Structure 1
Amino acid sequence: MKMNTQGHLILRASHQSDALFHWFYSRGRDEGLGGTTRDGSNLPAGCREGRVTLLLPAGCVIFRVLPANSRWKRPDPQVLLWQVEDELLADVSQLHAIITGRDQTGHYVQAVDKEWLSRVLHQLAQWGICPGAIHPDSAGLEPGYCIRLCDEWVFRPTPGTAATLPESWCEAWLAQQHGSCLEVPNTDADPVAVMQILSRNLPEGRGFQSAKEHLRLSLAGLPGRRLLAFACILCLVVLCFYPMLSAGARYWLAWRLEQHSFRQVEMTFGNTPRGVPPGVWLENRARGSSGRVGSRFTEVFHASNAFLHNLPHGHVESVLWDGKEMQLHLVDVPAGLAVLAQQHSQGSLEVVVQDENPGIPGAQVVIRERRP
């Protein structure tokens, strides 16, 4: 039988993400080495290439036994935590939760603060270490046992609960919660010996380091991650909706231009049909006189735009285009336009008022190019 010589490095974080780490490294049947580190400089050579497990203080982990609907084959631990949201000091959305087991009373749910865990992982990444599994330190104890690590005790009263307490609090906690039912596997508080004991009973799973959370938790340690994520989402939304917004803006501008044209024509000729574009309506009215409209009509009409714009508000009975004489006739316009016509008879345009007699309400205006 071939012996597995791959090394196993176990790191136990402190309550503060940047504080002291306890470590224990074993390879094959060696007794192993242990110690503490703040920057990873005194870790054994080659330990980063083997198996790496990160232990979290049980005091930084939330333990709950929560019932789940029997119809749920795979309940979501995050959903289960919402049942006890009022009992938690942290927001459920800021917790990374997993299910480690179950019994008749419910599911064993463990949760840890995402931001705190991401800082721990970010610090280890700076040392060149990426844990393959993350568990609470109590996972290395059998249910009903406790162990002393330096100046604090790690308790695991039941499979679904655990705690880490300072030594000064232990007697009061034991008397209130569990009496003297806990067994102590080793009274020696030597950190290396304690880490060796914890390494023997660690579960095989990945714990908090699930595959779907690994990348997200690693990226969560980057500075400005929330701003970066918001900027990416905003850019994606803009790219998705830009064609729609651009088309809407063009449609709105075209609608405004059309409404302005309707108002100008209506001020000059009175009631006009709203369903017909102004240019088409004018050409149709002019075509009723001559039967054809050429480019000269467009030139004369555009040249007379200033005169038409200054006509008093009222109704123009009809507009006729004389294709033979190349002149525009406005029939039954308001009287008293002689001065206005004289003002606009300049340059190449000639405006002539005809049939303007006292007592007759309407007159005829001829607009044409000036003749030599």
Structure 2
Amino acid sequence: MRVHSKIASVLLLLGASMSIFADDCGVPGAIVGKLDKKKIDLKARFFQDGSIAVRARLSVNPDGGPGSYTVGDHGFTYIANGLSAWRNGKRHECDIPCSKEFRKAESKGFETGTTEFCVFAMEVEPLEPGRGLVSCGDGRLVIGNGKGKPKLGGMLDTVTGKQVRSYVSTTSSRHTIEGVVQHLDSETLPIAVTPRTDLLGKVVWIGGTGYRSTYAIIGDKGPAFGEGSIALHQLLRTGVISEQKSGPIALEDRCGAGELGLRPPFQSRPDRPSDKCRPGYTAKSPSDIRAYTGIIEELDFVVLGDAKFQMDGRIITEAVSAESIKSTADKAGYTKEAIDKMLACLPR
């Protein structure tokens, strides 16, 4: 009788579980999001095939793009967003004084005696071949004080016809192009950020009122859901991925065509915050081009549970493109009708 009782209990539990998932709207839950730099719980629906429907705003994450971080801190995002201050074996948020210390260390080649930093969004290399690197936890590495330096990338053309040297920016997932493993490029690929590593490599559909719809790959890990690459922002706004040259913009070059022609998510960020270009005004400070114009309206997201790229660990075994992202969704059988049905389950 006891055996039969246990079996009956198991069947009862299975029946309850199956009845929950028998509903086309799956089960309610939450995924970590962000609002005004604070983490929040985003209401979501979780479906039996692993799909997730959720609504969120979208900020810009340029990581992985060649113009993300540069020597002299002129990249599409501030150098402080790619590292932490490293003091007494602990990480501390990198603020304005920290950024100044970075530039000092940079000017001295990150040699012994310079400030130490814990880097998480750039590749790190030793100051000299053969010297070991120092970990600061979670796969991050120390630069400064002779312990390492950010790896230099290529030269970038600026909007004023000059050049600036980049640092190699990283993403949690990488892909394989002609046998070479590379980071996903924020400037050419629609990429979404996830707080959950199990979602890396999956395809997500994104759209919203007043915006176009597009597919993206979940290719980078961050603290919260609701960040996307430069290319993703462009596709949502215009349907086209377009190249943007880097800053800096020297004082004598301010308010020219390169600055006045910037389109979201790009914006001019002068050294003096109020030093904006306007008719009849003469600029008083240099400026940089940052990718900081996010989408403040809520967008619809559907992570497609069965649409995932083949991966070896965190390495995607093929070259990712906007076309291959959509093809992966199509091959998994996700139609617009199926996506709309999942979105209909979200409360308004």
Q: Aligning the two structures, in what range does the TM-score lie when normalised by the shorter sequence? A: under 0.3
Greater per-residue strand proportion: 2
Between 1 and 2, higher relative CO (CA 8 Å, sep ≥ 6) is seen in 2
Highest CA radius of gyration, 1 or 2? 1
Greater per-residue helix proportion: 1
